[in-house]
Amino acid sequence: MPQSATPCRLAFTLGDPNGVGPEVFLKAFSEITKLCCPVVIGERGTLEYYGQKLGLTVPDCEYMDKGYYGREPQPGKLSAAAGAASARYVICAIEEAMLGAVDGMVTLPINKEAINLGGYHYAGHTEMLGEYTGVTSQSMMLVAGNIRVVLVTTHVALESVPALLNRPRIMQAMENAYRGMIEIGIALPRVAVCALNPHASDGGVFGSQEEQIILPAIREYDSTHGTSTAGPLPADSLFARMAAGNEFDVAVCMYHDQGMIPVKMAGFGGGVNITMGLPIVRTSVDHGTAFGIAGKGQASSTSLVEATRCAVRILEHRRSYGGKA
């Protein structure tokens, strides 16, 4: 753990008990303890099951074992009970963070179908975090090497995206992009905004959103904040320029796959998901429950270690600046 300051306490939600989350946590534990004091939100029995099955040591650390999933895991099985438990872990971690009992939270993967079967009707972590922190301005930021993105819209059908785009939503994502870069240590962020349509609509040939919504949002944000944001730029060339590392630090993307595809190409299994705009710190792995390999010992812990490191970095920044970016 860091020697220069009091180690932070981070809550780790175990994710779906039937997914790779528990295995990933066991594999990452030795690295996690070099960075923070972990608090497990989930059942020790779940970790003992995977520890015995995969020959992994079950750590002696602090547990908040609420008994949400009082049964033996069934690796790879879609289960309403497992989904409900994974949702309760997230809610518990949010509540503990809001109370100040932990400094932040790092989440392992939930399965969206399972949590809905279990009675928790959310599209994912981001929506749960917003509701239980009382925030409506949160954004997903994904980081993988030089590729960093903030999403304007998240888990919605592609056909619904155009109707969801408006100036306030885009400007909020821009604010979260600037703040996110500062909180991970980039003092003067270079932010670009993606167009929605191919070739940024080619002057209106392929759509009107660039001229009527996205560009006005950029101009209003820049005039208000004294920033100089690039865009709207065609996504097909923006990410090649970003990967080179000398033009842009982060891209604001209009929809989920516009941002997620380049992030996962840059570092699949090693990226980090950060929720910006919250009163608490939350980071996550960049992968899902991976039911197909659950319980087989094949899951990588790289993303969890990076997510932990990122959470610690953000917390250190907030402590330095009195909780503000």
Q: Give the pLDDT confidence of 183-232 residue by residue, as tens digits.
A: 888 989 999 999 999 999 888 888 899 999 999 999 999 999 999 999 99
**What number is the average pLDDT over the span 230-249?**
91
Structural domains of the chain, with CATH: 1-135+278-325 (3.40.718.10), 137-270 (3.40.718.10)
Residues 83 and 14: their CA atoms lie apart, in Å, by 11
Helix axes 235-244, 256-267, angle to 10 degrees: 30
pLDDT of residue 2: 43
Q: Give the residue among 244, 318, 227 at the shortest CA–CA distance from 280.
A: 318
Q: Give the residue among 318, 308, 234 at the shortest CA–CA distance from 36.
A: 308
H/E element, 82: helix 80-99
Q: What are phi and psi of 111, to 5 degrees?
A: -110, 120
pLDDT at 32 over 70: yes
pLDDT at 135 over 80: yes
| Exposure on the CB side of residue 174, measured as CA atoms within 13 A | 30
pLDDT of residue 84: 97
The mean-pLDDT minimum among 50-59, 134-143, 307-316 falls in 134-143
Q: pTM of the prediction?
A: 0.88
pLDDT at 296 over 70: yes
pLDDT of residue 322: 63
The residue to which tokens 């730029």 are assigned: 233
Q: Give the residue among 284, 289, 291 at the shortest CA–CA distance from 311.
A: 284
pLDDT at 114 over 50: yes
pLDDT band of 123, cuts 50, 70, 90: confident
pLDDT band of 291, cuts 50, 70, 90: very high
What's at 89, amino acid-wise?
Y
Q: In which order are the strands placed within the sheet that holds 37-41?
A: 62-64, 37-41, 9-13, 104-107, 281-285, 272-276, 139-144, 147-151, 250-253, 191-194, 230-233
pLDDT of residue 5: 61
- 207-212, Cβ contacts within 8 angstroms, sequence gap of 24 or more: 207/162, 209/162, 209/165
Residues 61 and 44: their CA atoms lie apart, in Å, by 10
pLDDT band of 323, cuts 50, 70, 90: low
What's the mean pLDDT when you consider all of the chain? Answer: 92
The answer to whether 248 and 230 have CB atoms below 8 angstroms apart is: yes
pLDDT of residue 245: 78
**What number is the average pLDDT over the span 88-106?**
97
Q: What is the pLDDT of residues 2-14, one digit of tens each?
A: 444 678 999 999 9
**What number is the average pLDDT over the span 65-93?**
95
pLDDT at 253 over 50: yes
Percent of the chain residues topping a pLDDT of 90:
78
